[in-house]
Every structure is written in C-alpha cells, then in structure tokens.
Amino acid sequence: MTKIKICGIKDQAVIPTLNQYLPDYVGFVFAKSPRQIKLPQAVALRRQLKPEIKTVAVVTAYDFSLITALVKQEVIQAVQLHCSINAQQLKQLQQLGLQVFQVVKSTWPRLAAADYWMYDAVQPGSGKLADWQQIDHQQHPLILAGGLNSTNVAQAIKQVQPQIVDVSSGVETNGNKDRNKIIDFIRSVRNADQKKYCN
C-alpha cells in the first residue's frame, strides 16, 4: 500500500483531521519557508498527534544539533534532507533511530543506505510537478513529491509506483492546510491503491 506524507504542518487547526484520517507521516519544516516552525511548536504539535503518525523533520542543511534535540524530545521519527550528505552523516542519523529521506539531485551523491530517495520538483513546495519520466522506480525505495493533489495522485501512483506520496501545497488554500483537501487527497491515494491491488 502507498504511504502518505502530509508536509508543512504549522498549526493545530488540522490536527483533528490528521488524527481521524491517519496519514502515515506528517512533515515539520525547519528550513526557511512560509511553513517553517521552531522546536517549541514542533513539540506541541507532536504531542497532539496520534502516536501512529510518524513525524519528519524537513531540513536544508545537516544540523545535527537540531536533529538530536528533536529526537531527545521525541518529536521525530524521520528526517528529510534537502542537502548533500555523506555516508558518515547518514550513519549518524540512522544511529539515532531515524529513517532518512534523501532528496535526489543530480549534483548530490545518492546514498544507497538511505531508507528512501525522494523525487521532488526543482523548487519544493511550489506546487510544480516533478519530472516523472526521470524516475527509475525499480532502483530504490522512493518518495514522490512535487505538485501532487487529489486529482493527479492516482496517475502518479500508477505511473511511478512510489512507496510514499508527499503533498504540501496540493492540500492548501491560501497558504493554509485545508481540511477538505487533506481528506480528498488521502481518499484518492487509498482508492488508487484499491484499484491497483484489486486488478
């Protein structure tokens, strides 16, 4: 079954929706962004989420002190890296018990030990589609992000066959997470999976 990540949660308004519909992952953005939050906000949001929802720190630099603080306060179970890292840094993260989502970029080395490779649009969070044609879905467990929404995610699952689909702007209205769009997206993914496994 395709797992679901809702990225860029920044306030408690949609926490009840997330707890009801149970995406597999929720992303907290610590990089400079309209969706950026700080450690105290992340702690408060994590405490309101059901424990079965895993939380992901989204970062654009290898900030081991921040990541360690998040782990110590039991905020995250995974880290999503929009930056180049080496094998030793990857090992450090995994020794903390974290899953590692490594964003793929042509100028960064792809580390086979990463739990997932993530394919995103050139400008993450922009709502623009990633280039699905450039993805080798048999190469490594993958996450597909970039421009996904409830109307195109079924085709993305069929064509790319990702292990995880990641959405942010596709479930927003005027820059804020939209309850109905979150519900529609989750239902679209689950309906697409039903068709895939029943055919």
pLDDT tens-place values along the chain, 199 residues long: 999 999 999 999 999 999 999 999 999 999 999 999 999 999 999 999 999 999 999 999 999 999 999 999 999 999 999 999 999 999 999 999 999 999 988 778 788 899 999 987 655 544 555 566 667 666 789 999 989 999 999 999 999 999 999 999 999 999 999 999 999 999 999 999 987 666 5
Question: Who's near 37: CB < 8 A, 6+ residues apart?
Answer: 10, 28, 29, 30, 45
Task: Give dist(CA 69, CA 54) in Å, integer.
Answer: 17
pLDDT in the model for residue 107: 74
- What burial class does residue 92 get, using C-beta atoms within 10 Å of its C-beta: 0-12 exposed, 13-18 middle, 19+ buried? middle
Which residues have a Cβ under 8 Å from the Cβ of 2 and sit 6 or more positions away?
157, 162, 163, 164, 165, 189, 192, 193
In the chain the domains, ranked by start, together with CATH numbers, are: 3-198 (3.20.20.70)
Select from 124, 157, 121, 164 the least CA-distant residue to 140. Answer: 164
Cα–Cα distances in Å, from 91 out to 80, 96, 105, 130? 14, 9, 20, 28
Q: What is the mean pLDDT of the chain?
A: 91
pTM, whole model, 2 decimals? 0.92
Q: What pLDDT score does 123 carry? A: 57
Are 171 and 181 spatial neighbours (Cβ–Cβ below 8 Å)?
yes
First to last CA, the chain: 14
Q: Dmax of the chain from CA atoms?
A: 47
Tell me the per-residue pLDDT of 84-142, one tens digit each, with 9 for 90 and over: 999 999 999 999 999 999 998 877 878 889 999 998 765 554 455 556 666 766 678 99
- The partner residues of 79 in beta bridges, in order of sequence, read 57, 100
